[in-house]
Structure 1
Amino acid sequence: MKYIKVGATALNQTPLDWLANKNNILAAIDTARVDNVSILCLPELCISGYGCEDAFLAPGTLTQSLNILHDIAKYSSNIIVAVGLPLLYQNRVYNTVCLLVDGKIAGFVAKRFLPSDGIHYEPRWFHSWAVGVDAEIEINGHIYPIGDIHFNCGGVRIGFEICEEAWVANRPGIKLAEQAVDIILNPSASHFAFHKHRVRERFVLEGSRSFSVSYIYTNLLGNEAGRAIYDGDAMIASNNNILASSSRFSFDNYQSISACIDVDLTRMAQARTSQCSDKIDNCIKIAFEYPVISPCQKIVTAASELLKEEEFSHAVSLGLFDYLRKSRAQGFVVSLSGGADSSAIACLVYLMVKLAVAELGIKGFTEKLNHINLPTTITDIIKSLLTCVYQATENSSETTQNAANTLATSLGADYLNININNIYIEYVELISQALNKKLSWETDDLALQNIQARVRSPSVWLIANIRNALLLATSNRSEVALGYATMDGDTSGGLSPLAGIDKDFLRHWLRWLEKSIPALRLVNQQSPTAELRPAAMTQTDEADLMPYSVLNRIEQAAIRDRQTPYEIFCLLRQEYEEQQLITWIERFFTLWSRNQWKRERFAPCFHLDEQNLDPKTWCRFPILSGGYKQELEEMKEKVIN
C-alpha cells in the first residue's frame, strides 16, 4: 500500500491585498508541514483574490501575482502546493493554477470552462483554454508547461478540475480518469448559497467514485470582496468516502484539513472499472520524494448539515465581520424602526459578535479588528460596535417604539431615541408655502410618506459619520423587487445586508430566532408596516403590496424562472381567487419594471441564494422598458376567454 497525506486549506483572501494574501498562504503551508502533508490544495486565484474585477486586466495585477508566486515557491520546499493566480500568455489572461513541487514551479494548468451566469463574469477577464492543448510559457528566462496538462510527481499522477469544471457535464475528470490520474485537485471560488454544500459534496464523492481517484476540494472563506460570501467548504474524498471535511463559516484567516489516502487502493479500483487511454497525454514528470508514512487513523471531521436559518445566521454574520474588518469602519449604525427588517439587521450584528468571539475568543476577536480600540468584555464590545437609532414622527406608534427599545436593550446595543417630527413638519410647511398649496393625505399621500422616511436619513448618517461607522440600509429583497422603499430613506447606507433575502423568509427567521432572543416577540407579533401614514389609515406592507408569501412565489417564477404573466397565473390559479391573483401579478410586473432605477442605486448586498436581484452582478434588466403591457393584456384576455 502507498499512503500519502494530502491537505486542503480554505483561505480568507482580499483582492489585491498582496501581503496579507501571501501571509495567509505561507501560514497554510506551515500548518500543512506541521501536519506532515505532502500535497496541499489552495483556492482558486488565491494569490490575487478572486474578486479583482477589471483589475485582472491591469498589467500591475499580473506582475504582482507572479512576484508573489515566486516568493511562495521559495517557501514550498519538500511539499507539493497548488496555488491559483491570473497569468498572461500570448496577450490573453488566463485563470490558472500553478503546481509548486519542492520549491520549484512545475507548470500551470489553465481553466477550460469559465462560468458566465449569475454572479460570475469570468469571460470578461479570462479566456478559456482549449481542451487537450498544451504549450510553453517563458517567465523570467525560464520555460514552463502551461495548458490542459497533468503531472506525474514522484510516480503519483495529479490532475485538476478548477471550480466550474466540476459542475459541467463534460467535466475534465472524465479525461483525467482515462489518463490514469491518481489524485484530482479542485481549487475553487464557489460563493455561498443555501444548501450548496450538499451539491459540492455530491460532485466530490461522485468524482472520487466514478473516476476511481482521491479528490481534494477547497474553497475561499469569508467576505472576500464585498458581495459574495464564501463558506470555506473543503473536502477530501477517496473511493466514494469523505475522509475529511472542514467546519464552515470560520472567522479565522484559514481552515485546514488533511487525510491519508491509499494510492494503490484507488489504482486497483481503476483497474476494475476504468477505461484507460492507450496514450498518456500532456503529462509533466517531476521528481519528488514522499515520506514513508503509516496509514492515518480515519477521523472524519464532517461539515455540519445546517438548517437554512442557521446558514443565514452564520453567512451574514461572517459577511458583516469581514466587511467591518476590511472596510476599517469603527462599527455599525442601524436605523431601528421596531419592525422586522431593521430588527433583523441589529440581531445579525449581535450574532456576528457572539459567533466570532465563541470561535476566536475575546483576544482573537480584538486582534482581527485591531483598527478599532475595542473594550475587553463581550457586552461592551457589542455596545461599542452596534448603535441603534429610533426616529419617531407623529405617525410612529408606541408599539414600535417599545419593540425597538426592548430589542436594543436586550442585545446590549447603544440605543438613541430621536424625535424628528418637527423636522418633518418644517419640510411640509416649507413646501406648502413654496407651492402655495396645503399638502394633504388625500392629494399627496406618497410624497408625505416619503419625506418622513427621508428626514430620518441625515441624522442617522450624521451619527454614523461622527462614529466613523458603517450605516446599514434596511430594505429586503421583496421591497427591492417592487421598489417599495424610499430612496435616500430606508435605502440609505453603505451596505444593504438584507437586499438579497426575501421578506417571507426573513419573518420566518425572526420567529425562529425568537427562541434565542425573546425580545423579538414584540417585533414578531406586529404586521409589517412602514408607519408613514396616520394611524387611522391602518397602513400595512401586505395591504400596499400583496401577501409576502405570494410576492415571493411570483418573484421566483417571473425573475428566476423567467415565466410570463399568464404562465404564472396558470401556476397559481388553483390556490387564489382569480381576479385577486390577476391584480397581484399585474402589480408585480408593473412595479418591477417601473423601479429598476432603484435597484441600480441600492447599496451593495450579500448574495445568499440563486435569486439575487442585484443588477451590478446578477439580475440585469433595462431601466426603461415596455413594462410587460402586452403580456399583461394577453393574460387578462386568456383568462376571460
Structure 2
Amino acid sequence: IARLLFGRLSFAASKKPSRIFRSRSAAFPMSVVPAKRGRDEQPLAAAAYVQPKLFTVATCSLNQWALDFEGNLRRICESIETAKARGARYRVGPELEVPGYGCEDHFYEDDTQLHCWQSIRALLDGPLTDGILCDVGMPVMHHNVRYNCRIFLLDRRVLLIRPKLCLCDDGNYREGRWFTEWSESRGIEQFALPRMIGNLTNQRDVPFGAAALAMADTVIGAETCEELFTPQAPHISMSLDGVEIIANGSGSHHQLRKLDKRLDLLRSATAKGGGLYLYANQRGCDGGRLYYDGCALIVLNGEVLAQGAQFGLCDVEVVTATVDIESVRSYRAAFIARSKQASRAPAYPRVAARDFSISADVVPSSLAVALSDTSAAKLQKTSRVTPSAPIQSRVHEPEEEIALGPACYLWDYLRRSGAAGYFLPLSGGADSSSTAAIVGVMCKQVVAAVAAGDAQVLKDARRITRQPAEWVPANAQELCHFILHTSFMGTANSSAETRDRSAKLAAQLGAYHAPAVIDPMISALLQVFKAITQREPRFEKNGGTLAEDLAMQNIQARSRMVLSYMLAQLLPWTRGRGGFLLVLGSANVDEALRGYMTKYDCSSADINPIGGISKGDLKSFLRYAAKEYGYSALADVVEAPPTAELRPLSGDEVEQTDEADMGMTYEELGEYGRLRKIERCGPVSMFTALLGKWGGRLSPSDIAGKVKHFFSSYGRNRHKLTTLTPSYHAEGYSPDDNRFDLRQFLYPNWERQFATVDQIVEQVGRADSTAA
C-alpha cells in the first residue's frame, strides 16, 4: 500500500520498477513510464493515477463579530479543523474574518492590525495549517497603505498576500474610507512580515499582489466580495490563463430577493469559462444594522455542487465538495472559442507552491485490500471518494426571508448584548404584531437548534434566561415566556379589537404580557401643561386646531415610549430575575420614508427588526406566519385596516386610518420609495416615470399632485430620520439616514422642481388637446 501511495510500485510480472519523474511534491507522480507487464495483468499504475485528480475543497460561513479577536479566532480554527476532518486540503473563509467585517473606523487603529497578526501567529503556531491551504481575510498595511487582503497559509508558513482590487463604496458599504484598491500595474512585490510572524515561520518576506498560486496539481486564484459583481471581474482573466479554482471570501449582507443575483453571478462565472468557484460569507450580526446571510457555495462549470444555509444560529458552518479537476479541463478544452481567447490572453501572475497538491492521496485511506490483489476494479470498488453531484440550489421566498433573517439577527443581538430579553409595546396592529411574530420565530429556531445538539445555542439560552445548568427549553412558548415581554398600552382612544388581538397573539407566542392603561399619564402631563400655560388643548374633533390635535396625538405616542423604557428596565426585577430588556421598535420602512411617526415615540427603541421592510411585504409575512407557524391571531391582524388609534373613537368604532392620515396608500409609498432611492429619481423624473405607469388610470395633474405631496411630506419630516432606531436592513429603498441613505435633513420648498413638473403637465395637456 505504501508503495502504491507514493508511486514506488513494482509490477510483479516483470520484477522491474517503473521510472517515475516526480514533482517536488511527494503526493503523486508527475508522469509514469510503466515497465513491461504480462498479457493478463491489469494496468494498476494507470488506475492509481486517476485518483489525484479528485479534490476535496471547503468553504464556510462564520458568525464573526467586529473586534471579537478571540471569538473570531476560535471560529476560524474550528472551520479549519472541520475542513481537515472532511478530507479537504483547501479552505476559504469570509472577508476580513480575522477582525470581523464591521470594524469600520476601528480599521484606522494600529491595535486592529496588531491583534490581526496575533491571530495569524496563533493559526501558524501549531499543526492547524499542516496539510491544508488556508485562505484567510484580514487588513494588511503595505508601504504605509492599508489594504483589504487574503492571506494564504500552508504548513505553518505564509505563501501569499493578495490585496483587494475593487472596493465596495455604495449602499451600506464605505470600504474606500478605510482601504485602498491595489493596482495590478504594480505587479508582485515583497511584503516584510512582522517579526512575530517571521521569527515563527523563518520567513523575512512574502509575495504581495494580485497573483494566483501554482500548486503541484492545479492553480488557485482569489477574488474578494465586490470583485465578483464588477463588469471586468478578476476571475475572467484568471480563468483564461488556466486558473482552475477561484475562491471568493465575502462580507455580503442580506437583502430581500438578493440571493438570486448572487447565485446567477456564481453560475455565470463558471458556466462561460469553466472552473471551480468557492464562495465564503460571514453570517450573523457583527455589531451593526446588517445581517450577513452566509449561504456558502461551491459551483462547478455553472452547476451548484454544495450550498450552505442562508440563515441559521450555528456559529460555524463548513461546506465541502469533491471535484474531479479533469471536468474543468475537459469543459474548457471543448469550448473552442474560449480556447482561442485563452491562447491570446495575457499571463496572470503566479506564485509557485509546487511542493503541495490539493488532490487527495493516490488511493484513499479507506482502501483495505490485500497486496496480492492488484485489480483496478477492486481498487475502484473499495474507494469511497467520488465526485460530488450537482444539486438544486435553494432560494427562500420573501416571506421566509422576513421570518428567518430578522429572527437570526435578533438572537445574535440578544446574546451578544448581555440583555435578559426583549420588551415590545404590542398594539395589535400589523407592525408590532410582525415584530412579535419574528421573536416567536426566533424562539422556534433556538429550540430547534438545541434539539439538534447545538451546545453553544443552549449555553446562550441558559445565560439569557438565567436558568440553571440542567435546564433545556421544552418548547418555543416556554422560551418565549422568559425572553419576550409585551404590553398593550391602551387609552380611551383604543379599541377592544386591537386589545383582544394583542392578548391573543401574546398567548399564542407564550410571551409575558402585561396590558396597561396609560390615560393617567396623559392626564398628568396635560395638567402640567395647563398649569404652565393656563390653556387646555383639544382634539380637532372637539373644536381644537390642527396643532392642538397633533399635540394631543403625539403626547400619547411619547408616553408609550417613556413607559416602555421603564418597563424594560424593571420587569425582570418584578419577575425575580436580574438583567434588563432591550426595547423593540416596530415602524416599517414606508412610514419612515413618509415620516409618518412621532419623533421619540414608541418607534424610538434599541433596535427595530422590521424597520427595513415594506408594509406590503409585512402583510405577506403575516399571512405566511399565521399558516406556517400556527399564529392564527395574525390572520385577524392582517385583515384589519392599519390605524394609530390616537384620535377619539366614534362610538366604539375607529375612524382614523393610516392611509387617510398620510394622504397616500402603502402601495403608492412603496412605489415612491423605489423610485426615489433605487431609480435615483427627484420630483421631475419621478413624475415622468409615474406618468408612464399610472397614466392609464390617473390624469397628469393627479399624478403631479401625488408626487408633490410625497416630496413635501418627505422633506418636511426628513429630520425624524436622524433619530431613527437602528433597523435591520432588508429593503433597497430604506431611508436610514445614518449609514445607507445619506441626505440633508433640512429641505427647501422644492420650488424649481415643482414648477418644472407643472410645465410638463401643461405640455402633456396641450399635446392631448392637439391629438384630440
TM-score category by the smaller chain? Answer: over 0.9
Which position in structure 2 is the counterpart of 1:366? 458
- Is 1:541 aligned to residue 665 of structure 2? no
Which position in structure 2 is the counterpart of 1:284? 351
The answer to whether the 8 Å contact 1:222/1:319 transfers is yes
- Is 1:397 aligned to residue 495 of structure 2? yes
Which position in structure 1 is the counterpart of 2:625? 513
Query: After superposition, what is the alpha-carbon deviation per residue over 1:320-339, rounded to whole angstroms, capped at 9, x for unaligned?
Result: 11111111211110001111
**Structural mapping, 1:151-170, within 5 Å:** 151-170=213-232
Query: After superposition, what is the alpha-carbon deviation per residue over 1:386-408, rounded to whole angstroms, capped at 9, x for unaligned?
Result: 00111111111111111111111
Question: CA RMSD of the aligned region, Å?
Answer: 1.8
Of 314-323 and 422-431, the range deviating more from structure 2: 422-431
Which position in structure 1 is the counterpart of 2:76? 25
The answer to whether the 8 Å contact 1:246/1:303 transfers is no
Amino acid across the alignment from 2:661:
D
The answer to whether the 8 Å contact 1:83/1:98 transfers is yes
**Structural mapping, 1:545-624, within 5 Å:** 545=662, 546-569=664-687, 570-571=691-692, 572-576=694-698, 578-624=700-746
Deviation at 1:580, TM superposition (A): 4.4
> In 2 relative to 1, CA 519–112 (structure 1 residues): closer, same or farther, beyond 3 Å?
same
Amino acid across the alignment from 1:530:
A
- Is 1:454 aligned to residue 558 of structure 2? yes
The answer to whether the 8 Å contact 1:227/1:604 transfers is yes
Query: Which one of the candidate residues 90, 102, 106 is aligned to 1:55?
Result: 106
> In 2 relative to 1, CA 276–312 (structure 1 residues): closer, same or farther, beyond 3 Å?
farther
Amino acid across the alignment from 2:680:
R
Work out the CA distance in 1 between the residues paired with 2:55 and 2:257: 31
- Is 1:351 aligned to residue 441 of structure 2? yes
Work out the CA distance in 2 between the residues paired with 1:499 and 1:629: 31
Query: After superposition, what is the alpha-carbon deviation per residue over 1:263-304, rounded to whole angstroms, capped at 9, x for unaligned?
Result: 233123333433145764421111214432564253556542
**Structural mapping, 1:175-324, within 5 Å:** 175-272=237-334, 273-274=338-339, 275-276=342-343, 280-286=347-353, 287-289=355-357, 290-292=359-361, 293=364, 295-300=385-390, 302-324=392-414
Work out the CA distance in 2 between the residues paired with 1:509 and 1:343: 11
Work out the CA distance in 2 between the residues paired with 1:493 and 1:61: 31
Of 342-351 and 575-584, the range deviating more from structure 2: 575-584
* Counterpart secondary structure, 1:439: coil
Instruction: In structure 2, list runs of 5 or more residues that go unmatched.
Output: 1-49, 199-203, 365-382, 573-579, 764-772
Query: After superposition, what is the alpha-carbon deviation per residue over 1:146-177, rounded to whole angstroms, capped at 9, x for unaligned?
Result: 11111112232100111110100110012112
Amino acid across the alignment from 1:538:
E
Deviation at 1:305, TM superposition (A): 2.2
Work out the CA distance in 2 between the residues paired with 1:278 and 1:400: 68
The answer to whether the 8 Å contact 1:97/1:110 transfers is yes
> In 2 relative to 1, CA 109–633 (structure 1 residues): closer, same or farther, beyond 3 Å?
same
The answer to whether the 8 Å contact 2:172/2:739 transfers is yes
The answer to whether the 8 Å contact 2:56/2:360 transfers is no
Amino acid across the alignment from 2:352:
K
Work out the CA distance in 2 between the residues paired with 1:135 and 1:168: 25
Identity %: 28
Which position in structure 2 is the counterpart of 1:16? 67
Work out the CA distance in 2 between the residues paired with 1:125 and 1:564: 31
Work out the CA distance in 2 between the residues paired with 1:108 and 1:594: 50
Query: Which one of the candidate residues 571, 591, 609 is aligned to 1:497?
Result: 609
Work out the CA distance in 2 between the residues paired with 1:520 and 1:264: 54
Q: Which structure is larger by alpha-carbon Rg, 1 or 2?
A: 2
Work out the CA distance in 2 between the residues paired with 1:629 and 1:304: 49
The answer to whether the 8 Å contact 2:303/2:390 transfers is no
Of 579-588 and 421-430, the range deviating more from structure 2: 579-588
Query: After superposition, what is the alpha-carbon deviation per residue over 1:78-117, rounded to whole angstroms, capped at 9, x for unaligned?
Result: 1111110011111111000011122211011100000111
> In 2 relative to 1, CA 385–267 (structure 1 residues): closer, same or farther, beyond 3 Å?
same
The answer to whether the 8 Å contact 1:46/1:84 transfers is yes
> In 2 relative to 1, CA 574–563 (structure 1 residues): closer, same or farther, beyond 3 Å?
farther
* Counterpart secondary structure, 2:129: coil
Which position in structure 1 is the counterpart of 2:504? 406
Deviation at 1:620, TM superposition (A): 0.8
Work out the CA distance in 2 between the residues paired with 1:414 and 1:303: 40
Amino acid across the alignment from 2:216:
G
The answer to whether the 8 Å contact 1:246/1:302 transfers is no
> In 2 relative to 1, CA 401–278 (structure 1 residues): closer, same or farther, beyond 3 Å?
closer
Which position in structure 1 is the counterpart of 2:636? 522
Query: Which one of the candidate residues 489, 510, 513 is aligned to 1:415?
Result: 513
Amino acid across the alignment from 1:392:
G
Instruction: In structure 1, list runs of 5 or more residues that go unmatched.
Output: none
> In 2 relative to 1, CA 209–524 (structure 1 residues): closer, same or farther, beyond 3 Å?
closer
Work out the CA distance in 2 between the residues paired with 1:531 and 1:580: 29
Deviation at 1:577, TM superposition (A): 5.2
> In 2 relative to 1, CA 302–67 (structure 1 residues): closer, same or farther, beyond 3 Å?
farther
The answer to whether the 8 Å contact 1:589/1:627 transfers is no
Of 353-362 and 51-60, the range deviating more from structure 2: 353-362
Work out the CA distance in 2 between the residues paired with 1:212 and 1:85: 29
The answer to whether the 8 Å contact 1:9/1:255 transfers is yes
Of 202-211 and 408-417, the range deviating more from structure 2: 202-211
Amino acid across the alignment from 1:94:
Y
> In 2 relative to 1, CA 186–276 (structure 1 residues): closer, same or farther, beyond 3 Å?
farther
Scaled by the length of structure 1, the TM-score of the pair is: 0.96
The answer to whether the 8 Å contact 1:338/1:404 transfers is yes
* Counterpart secondary structure, 2:97: coil
The answer to whether the 8 Å contact 2:450/2:458 transfers is no
- Is 1:137 aligned to residue 191 of structure 2? yes
Work out the CA distance in 2 between the residues paired with 1:237 and 1:283: 23
Of 335-344 and 128-137, the range deviating more from structure 2: 128-137
Of 256-265 and 270-279, the range deviating more from structure 2: 270-279
* Counterpart secondary structure, 1:244: strand
**Structural mapping, 1:26-45, within 5 Å:** 26-45=77-96
Work out the CA distance in 1 between the residues paired with 2:565 and 2:247: 47
The answer to whether the 8 Å contact 1:99/1:105 transfers is yes
Work out the CA distance in 2 between the residues paired with 1:148 and 1:501: 39
> In 2 relative to 1, CA 521–206 (structure 1 residues): closer, same or farther, beyond 3 Å?
closer
Work out the CA distance in 1 between the residues paired with 2:750 and 2:184: 42
Amino acid across the alignment from 2:133:
I
The answer to whether the 8 Å contact 2:429/2:498 transfers is yes
> In 2 relative to 1, CA 525–204 (structure 1 residues): closer, same or farther, beyond 3 Å?
closer
Work out the CA distance in 1 between the residues paired with 2:608 and 2:631: 23
* Counterpart secondary structure, 2:91: strand
Of 544-553 and 518-527, the range deviating more from structure 2: 518-527
The answer to whether the 8 Å contact 1:173/1:211 transfers is no
Of 215-224 and 563-572, the range deviating more from structure 2: 563-572
Which position in structure 1 is the counterpart of 2:116? 65
Scaled by the length of structure 2, the TM-score of the pair is: 0.80
The answer to whether the 8 Å contact 1:102/1:288 transfers is no
> In 2 relative to 1, CA 510–556 (structure 1 residues): closer, same or farther, beyond 3 Å?
same
